[in-house]
Amino acid sequence: MPPGRERPHAERSNDVKVNSVSSLELSQPRTAVRSRLRTRGAYQWYAGTIFGLAYQSFEVVNVWTNGRPLANEIIGTVLLGVFYAGYVIAPPLLWMYRVRVRMTVITLYWLATLVLWPFIGVDVIWIWPLIGAMIAFCWMPILPSFILSGLIIVGQVIAAWAADWAEGIAFAPFVTLTVLISLFGITRQIMANQQLRAAQATIATLAAAEERARLARDLHDVLGHSLTVVAVKSELAGRLVELDPARAVHEIGDIEALARTALADLRAAVTSYREMNLEAELSAARTALTAADITAHIPNDGEVVNEELRALFGWVVREGVTNVIRHSDARQCWIEIEQGRVSVRDDGASGAMLAARTAAGSAAGAATGNGLHGLRERAREAGAELTATPGDRGGFTLTVEKPIG
């Protein structure tokens, strides 16, 4: 039974390369032919043809035992050899062509077998199962395959009827039908396996892309917050060097600690072992806001939050506080936490502008900045909803909420 190979698209144009045939090879016919006959799929087909040709030995025996003249026996043997060679090399040469070309060549090959009729008589119909194998492994669509296969079986039935259903000949249509069903079953299974492998490759590619996006999002969340605090504290330390050296030293110590923490978070993010801690983020937020000279109204802990939402709310606190420090020019910041809801509000002057930008970006289907875009993805994955609107105290309000019930 011939093994399968990769199935070409049914409507590939002749300039599409199959079985590693390059454009240079297509411009050089001899090289192109050799290349198509030496592909991995071609060698698999050659191995399979051994089984298809094994039972054909009786045709050669029939040529030499039918009592015809020696010349007929020699010519018949040569013609059989030519047809068997065509059976072996034709499919690898046809794989790159369109369905119409493949079907036409196989049909002509089938009709050409009638040349053998004077040499082996009605037994020529026992060559036709080979035509069925060529149909199956030329990877044509179902309808053309069934039409041509049906014509072959009908031709065998007519030949058997003309031979008055002679012993042996009468079984040819049934044998051919059985062979065709088996071969088509094998080829369809091969195609299904190849489609499955292609789907698995696509899934792997998408998973890799999603993982890259997750890593980029995590790196932004980790470094964006930490570097913002480092920048604020560095600026503060620079102002205090002459005014209050002791406090400047203290701020520099905080900067060093933040840098080490950011490095540890970065390493953990890269190895996918980092876990968000809501309490730690609340504490870090209080420190960062104080360093930025923003009054912080923050709960002491987040024990009230559902366990499944604690990591998400930690990210919200981190991103919200980072945006307050970077963009708001606020004097005060409020963080409110409930069982299924967290909000970060400020009294800055840029809240309306940021909210308008967020709404415009959402309406356009675009990202509204890496931070909010990443938070929106995280919220969606957790079944929560993110909203970013002007605050009731003049600033900006970032809220993530998931109904609890």
pLDDT digits (tens, 9 = 90+) for 48-101: 888 778 877 777 777 777 777 788 778 888 888 888 888 888 888 888 888 888
pLDDT band for position 124 (50/70/90)? confident
pLDDT band for position 267 (50/70/90)? low
User: What does DSSP say about strands 332-337 and 385-390: parallel, antiparallel, or unpaired?
Assistant: unpaired
Residue 27 scores a pLDDT above 70:
no
pLDDT at 271: 56
Which H or E run includes 397? strand 396-401
Mean pLDDT of the chain: 77
Residue 28 scores a pLDDT above 50:
no
pLDDT at 194: 81
CA distances from 164 to 122, 147, 156, 161, 172 (A): 11, 26, 12, 5, 13
- CA gap 328, 344 in Å, rounded: 12
Residue 399 scores a pLDDT above 90:
yes
pLDDT at 116: 83
pLDDT at 361: 42
- Torsion sign, CA atoms 113, 119, 121, 125: negative
- CA gap 380, 377 in Å, rounded: 5
pLDDT band for position 405 (50/70/90)? low
- Which has more pLDDT, 285 or 351? 285
pLDDT at 270: 60
Residue 265 scores a pLDDT above 50:
yes
Residue the block writes with tokens 């790159």? 96
Name residue 335's beta-bridge partners.
344
Model-level pTM? 0.44
- Which has more pLDDT, 11 or 261? 261
Q: What is the CB neighbour count within 10 angstroms for residue 296?
A: 18
Order of strands, edge to edge, in the sheet holding 332-337? 295-297, 332-337, 341-346, 396-401, 385-390
Residue 113 scores a pLDDT above 80:
yes
- Which has more pLDDT, 286 or 201? 286
Average of per-residue pLDDT across 183-191: 82
pLDDT at 363: 40
